[in-house]
Amino acid sequence: MNVTEEAGVSTYSFKLPDLGEGIVESEVSAWYVEVGDRVDEDQHIADVQTEKAVVEITAPVAGTILALGCPAGEVLAVGVELVCFDTAGSSNEEPEGANEEPEDEVASSPAQPAPESQQGGSKESKPSAVVPRSDPAGFTTETPEGDPAFRQVLASPSLRHRAREAGVNLIDVPGTGPGGRIQHKDFEAFLAAGGELVTGQESSRRVAVHEKSISGMRRVIAQKMLDAKRNIPHYSYIEEVDVTQIEALRAHLNAHRTEDQPKLTLLPFLTAALVRVLPQFPHCNARFDSEKELLSEYDAVHVGFATMTDAGLMVPVVRHCEEQDVWQIAAELSRVSGVARAGKAKPAELSGSTITITSLGAIGGIATTPIINAPETTIIGVNKMQRRAVVIDEQVVIRTMMNLSGSFDHRIVDGYDGAQMIQLLKSFIENPGAIFV
């Protein structure tokens, strides 16, 4: 961050900060300001996507935005200028209309009759008196005079250009920016919700092609999955497990839980079973640095839980499961997965796992072959439970059955070891009393 003063102009260069954990670059996923906007100190100006979470960036000073380091969706290296501010006169009151770009201002002219009809326009007829509104980019929006929904359309030239190409009347697009300014994310949300086009012939044929930039959390997920599959030789092992007894125990404990105890799912029991199993397979509770050719085996059991969020797949971590009972594991799992889904997880809550569990929940599935959460060596997949007939002691009985999947880094875990690990885990699940002995 550098301050430069010359000829009465004071500029402040704010560089992309180091967001921790060896991060050398980050994607600017969203801007909440534009060039020319005046901002207050600590005002939220951008969101930056790291490998772990979305980080809110606030203004370090008050002033006017002179330049942005890159468009939203692009990646900046740590230490590169993110925003340049003009801090001269930042203590003065903001002039009226300072937040509006010249391109956003809407010129008005005397009322004139509206066109009798407009092919592909809005479904309701327009009043005869309208106020034509134009912008320098040449896009005209006509709004009924006296209409309660009447408002000036504030939008950048690039957004107006997109609206012209899409045939969208910007007066119909709700704006969430300062003064009701329509931002690109507002426009995209309007289109995603099936916004009505003001031009074009209706047709039952589906001919539209929707291009979507892979950015933000989706870009991070894509890169991590590609790296894991490209660099890790996966070995998967799937076994059938009888979960009748552990489901009965779970139902009993839930029926007698206190108000301050969370509702138990299968995952806390599976985690508690892993705590018993992993000391015999320390290379399955480990992280492998292939560049240094260094395997780190952990005594502590830090379990990551693959969690689907609106932003994409995240892996919040429950730490030191070996020190917790099933109630404590359930409570912490509920907490970290909740903050992850709300987009409020801290980087520390999304890192440091030594083994990962993934479950599709009610969707289930007969079997999965999950991708390892690098640099870990093992991931456990939970599949669908179902009541079905099985043969026990020459008798056909109805049991609750589930397939348990395991994927292993075959550089570290041999096939025999992976199979033994899943078999031992199976024995604890089928005899849940042994978990607590």
Domain at 275, CATH number: 3.30.559.10
> Cα Rg for the chain, rounded, in angstroms?
29
Residues 365, 276 share a domain: yes
**Residue 171: partners with Cβ closer than 8 Å, 6 or more residues away:** 141, 143, 149, 151, 153
Q: Are residues 272 and 307 in the same domain?
A: yes
Domain boundary among 86, 121, 138: 86
pLDDT at 10: 85
Final residue belonging to a domain, choices 55, 86, 117: 86
Q: Are residues 417 and 292 part of one domain?
A: yes
Residues with Cβ within 8 Å of residue 298, at least 6 apart in sequence: 282, 285, 286, 287, 354
Is 161 annotated in the active site?
Answer: no
The residue out of 86, 111, 133 marking a domain boundary is: 86
For residue 223, being part of any structural domain is answered with no
49-95 pLDDT, tens per residue? 877 677 889 999 999 999 999 988 888 888 899 999 998 765 444 44
Q: Beta strand pairing status for 81-86 and 9-15?
A: antiparallel
Residues 168 and 235 in one domain: no
Distance of CA 376 to the CA centre of its chain: 22
Q: Is residue 72 part of a domain?
A: yes
Residues across the chain: 437
376 and 282 in a common domain: yes
- Pick the range with the lowest mean pLDDT from 10-24, 28-42, 246-260, 306-320: 10-24
Q: Which residue has the higher pLDDT, 387 or 75?
A: 387
**Nearby residues of 101 by Cβ (< 8 Å), 6 or more positions away:** 34, 35, 36, 156
Measured CA to CA, the distance from residue 124 to residue 165 in angstroms comes to: 23
CATH of the domain at 20: 2.40.50.100
Q: Which is the catalytic residue, given 18, 227, 289, 414? A: 414
Looking at residue 2, its pLDDT comes to: 62
Spatial neighbors of 6 by CB under 8 A, at least 6 apart, are none
In a domain, 406, yes or no: yes
- Given a cut of 50, whether residue 259 has pLDDT beyond it is yes
What span, in angstroms and rounded, lies between the C-alpha atoms of 275 and 284?
11
**Whether 242 and 314 share a structural domain:** yes
Please report, rounded to a whole number, the percentage of residues in the chain having pLDDT higher than 70: 79
What pLDDT does 22 receive? 62
pLDDT of residue 293: 94
How many domains is the chain built from?
3
Q: What is the CATH number for 146?
A: 4.10.320.10
**Is 419 within the bounds of a domain?**
yes
Containing domain of residue 134, as a range? 102-192
Reading the block at residue 342, the tokens are: 């709300």
Whether 419 has a pLDDT exceeding 70, the answer reads yes
Is residue 198 scored above 60 in pLDDT? no
| Bridge partners (DSSP) listed for residue 112 | 130
Is the model's pLDDT at 106 over the cut of 60?
no
The mean pLDDT value of the chain amounts to: 82
- Active-site residue, from 234, 242, 410, 417: 410
Q: Are residues 81 and 108 in the same domain?
A: no
Residue 155 lies in a domain: yes
| Structure-model confidence comparison of residues 36 and 202, the more confident one | 36
**Are 246 and 377 part of one and the same domain?**
yes
pTM of the model: 0.60
Q: Are residues 75 and 113 in the same domain?
A: no
pLDDT above 80 for 231: yes
Classified as helix, coil or strand, 204 is: coil
Q: Rounded to a whole number, what is the distance in angstroms from the first to the last CA of the chain?
A: 58
Q: What is the pLDDT of residues 273-324, one digit of tens each?
A: 999 999 999 999 999 999 999 999 999 999 999 999 888 889 999 999 999 9
What is the pLDDT, as a whole number, of residue 256? 94
pLDDT digits (tens, 9 = 90+) for 118-138: 444 444 443 333 334 434 333
Q: Is 219 part of a structural domain of the chain?
A: no
Residues 293 and 432 in one domain: yes
Residue 107 lies in a domain: yes
| 244 and 129 part of one domain | no
State the pLDDT confidence band at 26, using cuts at 50, 70 and 90: confident
- Residue 410 annotated to the active site: yes
Same domain as 107, residue 72: no
Q: Is residue 20 part of a domain?
A: yes
